[in-house]
Structures are given as structure tokens and as C-alpha cells.
């Protein structure tokens, strides 16, 4: 089947995160987009539910804080419960 070039505009940060994720899955952007498009065709629509989440303001703030913490290199992380327990007891 012949391939045709296609251009799309996406947010630079979304592209970076998606490229990293697809790389972990052994895919490139083109392969991932092809999978998405094929699933749309098979399902006759988007292969997932599209909706506006209705989270409370408190939950939205907690999710924003969790995302900020996950990206902050100055906040320590722990790979096992013993190290976490020691840090909490200090």
C-alpha cells in the first residue's frame, strides 16, 4: 500500500511526551498515528470515550500538585518502602 506524507500541528510538549511514550512501546510517531487511524476505521469512530471530566476543584488541584511534584528533580523519590519509611521517620 503506498504511503503518503501528512502534516499535523501539535503542541511541542505533547509531541515530546508522546514520542517518549511511543519509544518505550517500540513505536515511532508515524506508527502510533497509523495504529490510531486504523482503530478509528475499525470502530467507526474514536477508539476511546471523549468527554469533559467533572472533577471537583480540590481533585483538580491535587492532580496539578502531583504532576508538579513528579517533574520536580529536587523532590526525592524512593524505590523501596524501607527508604521511604526511614525518610518519614526523620
pLDDT along the chain (90 residues), means of 10: 91 96 96 97 96 91 94 91 93
Contacts of 40 (CB under 8 A, 6+ apart): 46, 47
Contacts of 69 (CB under 8 A, 6+ apart): 75
Please tell me whether residue 77 adopts helix, strand or coil conformation: coil
The per-residue pLDDT for 1 is 79
Euclidean distance between CA atoms 52 and 24, whole angstroms = 28
The number of residues making up the chain comes to 90
Euclidean distance between CA atoms 42 and 37, whole angstroms = 9
Amino acid at each position: 500500500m503506498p504511503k503518503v506524507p501528512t502534516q499535523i500541528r501539535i503542541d511541542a510538549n505533547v509531541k515530546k511526551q508522546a514520542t517518549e511514550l511511543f519509544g518505550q512501546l517500540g513505536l515511532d510517531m508515524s506508527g502510533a498515528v497509523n495504529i490510531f487511524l486504523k482503530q478509528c476505521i475499525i470502530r467507526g469512530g474514536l477508539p476511546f470515550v471523549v468527554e469533559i471530566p467533572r472533577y471537583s476543584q480540590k481533585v483538580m488541584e491535587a492532580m496539578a500538585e502531583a504532576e508538579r511534584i513528579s517533574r520536580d528533580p529536587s523532590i526525592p523519590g524512593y524505590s523501596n518502602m524501607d527508604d521511604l519509611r526511614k525518610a518519614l521517620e526523620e
